[in-house]
Amino acid sequence: MVRSDSNVPVRSWSHAVVTGGAGFVGSHLCTALLDQGAAVTCVDDFCTGRLENVADLADRPGFTLLRADVTEPFDVARTADLVLHFASPASPADYLRLPLHTLETGSLGTRNALALARRHGARFILASTSEAYGDPQQHPQSERYWGNVNPVGPRSVYDEAKRFGEALTTAEAGVNGTDTGIVRLFNTYGPRMRGHDGRAVPTFIRQALAGEPLTVTGDGRQTRSLAFIEDTVRGVLAMARSELLGPVNIGNAAEITMLDLAHKIIHLSGSRSTVEFVERPTDDPAVRCPDITLARGKLQWAPVVPADEGLARTIDWYREQAAA
């Protein structure tokens, strides 16, 4: 499924469209693209995105905010040469609250974003997820692994939306020749995550700074692989510059248990919080760790921000937000 064995080409964009651009990852992509000289149209319906994530971009030359639901056909005012489809509820709290919208964003939304890229002759990148592997029986997970997903479990609305989006993106490339690529993102964290979005890092930081017990699910031995937002953005843009169809894993191969993560955040924040064990959610994956051989070899990409540094920077951001 790889289109080229060459090194990552030098490629720049005059106008990029980022769906879900007011979300956590999407807003950082908007900033990075503007910093690289591209005009950016941020498309968001604000079901989970936040205006404050892009407020500091409003006055930057070339930035446009388009309030739109990607499950309906949409277009942009000027020709685009890059479409990054990042619209979707991504945290369990959000996709369990918005199950039908999550499925529609992965299906209708992906189709509409692909149609935009096709009309404009743009490179298209789909943000997929490590959740495509479900509760994996292969460890670490490589792109060749087909996954172990419960299609009717509570998490299926997100897992299957992304898996369908991958199938649709692949079919679009095959049938219409659209220049597409797929990235599977692993456990990205950093500033701009909502404290109550339900994922481990923002939940633990919020609790630690408030002096509350950190709620670790199950026995805490389940693992995740944490990638700081700056590393993830570099990986996504490296994929955009390439000619790969993918999917390509973008994540950090360093695993950490949830219990160790909780203790690390307590230590880094200087909190006196304790750990409290709570019930583990249904279909919660036992392990999560990417094989990033493909990204290293084809994109010359690998994460560089150590966990202690990334978590400390994230904790500082939450402190600043609380003070403000």
The predicted-structure confidence for 92-128, as pLDDT tens digits, reads as follows 889 999 999 999 999 999 999 999 999 999 999 999 9
* 74 located within any domain: yes
- 3-class secondary structure, 277: strand
Is residue 25 included in any domain, yes or no? yes
Quote the pLDDT of residue 117: 98
- What was the pLDDT predicted at 323? 86
* H-helix segments, the chain: 24-35, 92-97, 99-104, 110-120, 156-176, 200-210, 229-241, 258-269, 293-299, 307-323
DSSP 146-198: --B--TTSTTHHHHHHHHHHHHHHHHHHHHH---EEEEEE--EE-TT--TTS-
pLDDT, mean of residues 291-317: 97
Average pLDDT over the chain reads: 94
Would residue 29 count as lying in a domain? Answer: yes
Alpha-carbon distance of 228 to 252, in angstroms, equals 8
Residue 211 in domain? no
Domain harbouring 134, CATH code:
3.40.50.720
Answer whether residue 205 is part of any domain: no
Q: pLDDT grade, residue 9 (50/70/90)?
A: low
pLDDT at 239: 98
Query: Residue 236 carries which side chain, given as an amino acid letter?
Result: V
Asked if residue 152 is part of any domain, the answer here is yes
Burial of 79 (0-12, 13-18, 19+ CB in 10 A): exposed
Write the pLDDT tens digit of every residue in 157-175.
999 999 999 999 999 999 9
Q: Which residues of 39-70 are buried (b: 16+ CB within 10 A; e: fewer)?
A: bbbbbbbebbbeeebbeebeeeeebbbbebbb
| Catalytic residue annotation | 158
Domain boundaries, position 76: 15-191+226-254+287-305
Contacts of 257 (CB under 8 A, 6+ apart): 220, 221, 222, 223
Q: Does residue 162 fall inside a structural domain?
A: yes
pLDDT at 3 over 50: no
Whether 177 is covered by a domain: the verdict is yes
Return the half-sphere exposure (C-beta side, CA atoms, 13 A cut-off) of residue 232.
27
Query: How many folded domains does the chain comprise?
Result: 1
The pLDDT-based confidence of 284 (bands split at 50, 70, 90) is: confident
Would you place residue 307 in the very low, low, confident or very high pLDDT band (cuts 50, 70, 90)? Answer: very high
Percent of the chain whose predicted confidence (pLDDT) is above 90: 90
